[in-house]
Amino acid sequence: MKNKNIALSFVAVLSALTLSVQAENNPNLQQAAAAYERGDYAETKRLLETEALKNNAEAQNNLGVLYAGGHGVAQDYGLARQWYEKAAAKGFAEAQYNLGVIYEKGHGVTQNYELARQWHEKAAAQGHIKAASNLGALYANGLGGVQNDKLARQWWEKAAAAGNVEAQYNLGVMYAKGQGVAVNHNLAKQWYEKAAAQGHMGAQYNLGLMYADGLGVAVNGGLAKQWYEKAAVRGSADAQFGLGLLYRYGNGVKQNDQLAQQWLEKAAVQGHSDAQNMLGILYQEGGDGVGQDHKLALQWYEKSALQENAEAQFNLAALYHLGLGVKQNDELARQWLEKSAVQGNINAQQNLGGFYYFGAQGVSKDYALAWKWWEKAAMQGNAQAQFDLGTLYYNGHGVKQSNELARKWLKKAAEQGHEDAKRALQQLKAQGH
């Protein structure tokens, strides 16, 4: 079983506001910075106010930082914005960036991505790296009224070249996804490596995934394990799940169900729905050093299913149908099958068709619904559903009898090696159909 696709979300970096120190020849600003570092915020505020009232842009920006962070003063984003605006109007890049952050996050103002973009543009035009990175994310996501992958890439390249880790990561995502550029796993890998070297967990996970699934590189379970571990030990649920899969199936590592259980559980308790489902599978099947436990399987399937995980919903339905770890209940099985089926799960669609065709405790026969779900699964290539649909047409159950349609669907199933379909086709031929 392969891991999920590379994480494709672009991240707008809303960094914590920091006190800037650019006026080397201003004693008050230097003393204010020193006071800030030692936590003497009252002295910091006094010194900054002295300079801010002299229209010093840096002091005005730094006063904004104090109010935004609530350092020695009551947190007040309104006052923070006022001081930022005074400094930004003088062209102070850090204040322009900070205003962009305020509007991007909606701190003390109505969230306004257009104003955020405008302020980030002003700061980025002066070479502000974090503003350039945020600007790239706004353009990539179409926040602020303009979606432009080319501009996103340009701003990220500027920030990434200056070492901004989020821009490096986002460029990797852009090349992996092919958003605004041709898919290029080699370039994705290069940018991920730069971000990963700075400790970016998402980049470390994505590198692990590339090696696990052979995305632009030769499959290498050992390297996948190395990259997953770097992110997993720092709490990345995706990486913990990836490690769990490696150990569960022995992909590039020695198969170890106990280690699989440990890593899957770390991810599962963080709410990772795929890890919850996989942990359920592990408990349902049992493994070396992991006892079979249908009740635990049920618990983890439920957690995942409630997060709309279609595979977990199907697995949960199976437990209810078979009465494993829970009282047998075909009506609940049908409900979970339907939730999974409407999300496109082929196996759920095929089984749901069977429920309606044959009927079950609490589930009435309904050939029309059987046809509906079998057709959906058959159209997706499920051989059993194709066979079932063929027999439905042959028997004329809930549909107009049609040997032609029966032959069509039986042939599709037979071409996939379905033995019953092959025999049914021979019978049709023998009958002259």
Res 17 pLDDT > 60: no
Helix axes 310-322, 346-358, angle to 10 degrees: 30
> Predicted confidence band at 252 (pLDDT cuts at 50, 70, 90)?
confident
Kindly report the CATH number that applies to the domain delimited by 1-181.
Answer: 1.25.40.10
What's the whole-number mean pLDDT along residues 404-408?
Answer: 95
Number of H helices, E strands in the chain: 23, 0
Task: Please name the CATH architecture into which domain 199-307 falls.
Answer: Alpha Horseshoe (1.25)
pLDDT of residue 361: 84
Distance CA 141, CA 122 (A): 19
Res 2 pLDDT > 70: no
Distance CA 367, CA 355 (A): 10
The residues, any chain, with a CB within 8 Å of residue 423's CB and separated by 6 or more, are: none
Res 12 pLDDT > 50: no
Number of Cα atoms under 13 Å in the Cβ half of residue 314 = 19
DSSP letter assigned to residue 303: H
Distance CA 337, CA 379 (A): 18
Res 61 pLDDT > 90: yes
Of the candidate ranges 205-214, 300-309, 352-361, 424-433, the one whose mean pLDDT is the lowest? 424-433
What's the whole-number mean pLDDT along residues 239-265?
Answer: 96
- Asked whether 132 and 140 are in contact (CB, 8 A), the reply is no
Res 65 pLDDT > 50: yes
pLDDT of residue 297: 98
Look at the chain and count its residues: 433
Torsion angle, alpha carbons of 143, 171, 15, 125, to 10: -70
pLDDT, one tens digit per residue, over 367-399 is: 999 999 999 999 999 999 999 999 999 999 999
pLDDT of residue 18: 53
pLDDT of residue 144: 86
Please tell me the pTM assigned to this model. 0.86
Res 118 pLDDT > 90: yes
Res 48 pLDDT > 80: yes
- Helix or strand or coil: residue 360? strand
Residue 255 backbone zone (phi > 0: left; psi -120 to 50: alpha; other: beta): beta
Query: Fold identical between 1-181 and 199-307?
Result: yes
DSSP letter assigned to residue 295: H
List the chain domain ranges: 1-181, 199-307, 308-371, 381-433
Dig out the tokens for 295 from the structure.
């009740």
Res 127 pLDDT > 60: yes
pLDDT, one tens digit per residue, over 89-103 is: 999 999 999 999 999
Distance CA 199, CA 116 (A): 28
- Secondary structure of 121-168 as H, E, C letters: HHHHCCCCHHHHHHHHHHHHHCCCCCCCHHHHHHHHHHHHHCCCHHHH
Distance CA 309, CA 260 (A): 20
Residue of higher predicted confidence among 154 and 21 = 154
- Asked whether 151 and 124 are in contact (CB, 8 A), the reply is no
Res 433 pLDDT > 80: no
pLDDT, one tens digit per residue, over 319-367 is: 999 999 999 999 999 999 999 999 999 999 999 999 999 998 889 999 9
Nearest residue to 148 via CA among 160, 137, 140: 140
Res 179 pLDDT > 80: yes
Nearest residue to 57 via CA among 31, 26, 102: 26
Residues of the chain above pLDDT 90, percent = 89
Distance CA 272, CA 305 (A): 11
Distance CA 273, CA 250 (A): 22
